[in-house]
Amino acid sequence: MPPSKAAPDLITHGPLWLTLAADARSLAEEETQELAVRFGILIILALVVPGILVSGPVLAGDDTPGSQAGIGITATGETVEYELAVSSTAGGKVTVPGEGTFTYAAGTHVDLAATADEGFLFVNWTGDVETVDDVASAATTITMLDRYAITANFEEAREVEAQEFELAINSTAGGSVTVPAEGTFVYQEGSEVDLEATPEEGFEFLAWTGDADTIDDVEAAATTMVVEDHHAITATFQGVHPVARVNWGLIAGIIGAVVVVTVAVLLVRRRKAG
């Protein structure tokens, strides 16, 4: 009986199956260990990361939990706080909240007030002014959304000389301007000037004409005007036409005479006719 062909295959390949089985077991063990390591890392991160996000890191030089030294941000529990540094230039000071460094919770609206010294004027707020409500106002607010450093600026007040303007006054025939008179006068801008026009006999005042936009009442002979620019005005007059008066006595006398004459004529004619 010839030897079986399957036997050599079993003998030849038997060790290979054993090797494969051993390799599979080794691979499964390695995968199990790797999965265990990964799972452990995930557990550690789940426990540690939330604490870092809420409390923040503890930096060298600061033993306060959750404080970030040197950057003006403090987080304690669920509250985030920011620093606000306030200063001013020469010529005034910040009275609210004062000058220095202050800490506020995120989102806080902080009142600001700057007061100028005598002889100085407030100019504006500069620095980290993105959330300042009005940088040109001495009294305003800032919203704390980050750490900020702001400065109130002042400048020396300069005396401004009032501008002067000319007022030329004249009149037409029939009268004259008695207050302030006729001619050219110089007044500071904004001055209020009394005006008065007087008509001659047989004339009456009509109106003020010319640059009369600031005259209080152009139809009044006595009025006022405000000097805001160079002005030239004229008082105008017109003649008064006399009203005819009826002489009723004369008319009655004429009528009476006509009646008497008519009656006399009639009597004469009757006598002649008789």
| pLDDT in the model for residue 76 | 59
- At 120-159, the pLDDT tens digits run 999 999 999 999 999 999 999 999 999 999 999 999 998 7
- The encoded tokens of residue 138 equal 């001495």
**pTM greater than 0.85:** no
Name the phi and psi angles at 152, rounded to 5. -90, 125
pLDDT of residue 162: 79
Q: Is 137 helix (H, G, I), strand (E, B) or coil?
A: coil
State what percent of residues in the chain have pLDDT above 90: 57
User: What is the mean pLDDT of the segment spanning 176-185?
Assistant: 96
CB atoms within 10 A of CB 140: 17
Q: What is the pLDDT of residue 67?
A: 42
Q: Chain-wide mean pLDDT for the chain?
A: 82
One-letter amino acid for residue 78 of the chain: E
Give me the helices (H) in the chain, please.
6-55, 248-273
Whether residue 263 is predicted with pLDDT greater than 70 in this model: the reply is: yes
**Are 237 and 207 contacting, i.e. CB atoms less than 8 angstroms apart?**
no
| Cβ count within 10 A of residue 271 | 8
pLDDT at 63: 42
Q: What is the pLDDT of residue 71?
A: 54
pLDDT of residue 253: 86
Neighbours of 88 (CB within 10 A): 20
Q: How far apart are CA 51 and CA 48, in angstroms?
A: 6
Structure tokens at 170: 């004249």
Lowest mean pLDDT among 60-69, 204-213, 264-273: 60-69
Q: What angle do CA 182, 185, 188 make, to 5 degrees?
A: 145
Average pLDDT over residues 230-235: 96
Distance of CA 57 to the CA centre of its chain: 44
pLDDT at residue 232 in the model? 95
Tell me: pLDDT of 58 over 70: no
Within the chain, strands assigned E span 67-68, 73-76, 79-88, 92-96, 100-105, 109-116, 120-127, 139-143, 148-156, 164-171, 175-179, 183-188, 192-199, 203-210, 222-226, 231-239
Residue 56 — pLDDT band, cuts 50, 70, 90?
Answer: very low
Q: How far is CA 80 from CA 58, 100, 150, 224, 225, in A?
A: 15, 20, 20, 65, 63
Domain spans, the chain: 67-156, 164-239
Q: What confidence score (pLDDT) does residue 54 get?
A: 41
Give 5-47 pLDDT, tens digit per residue.
444 444 444 555 456 556 666 666 777 777 777 777 777 776 6
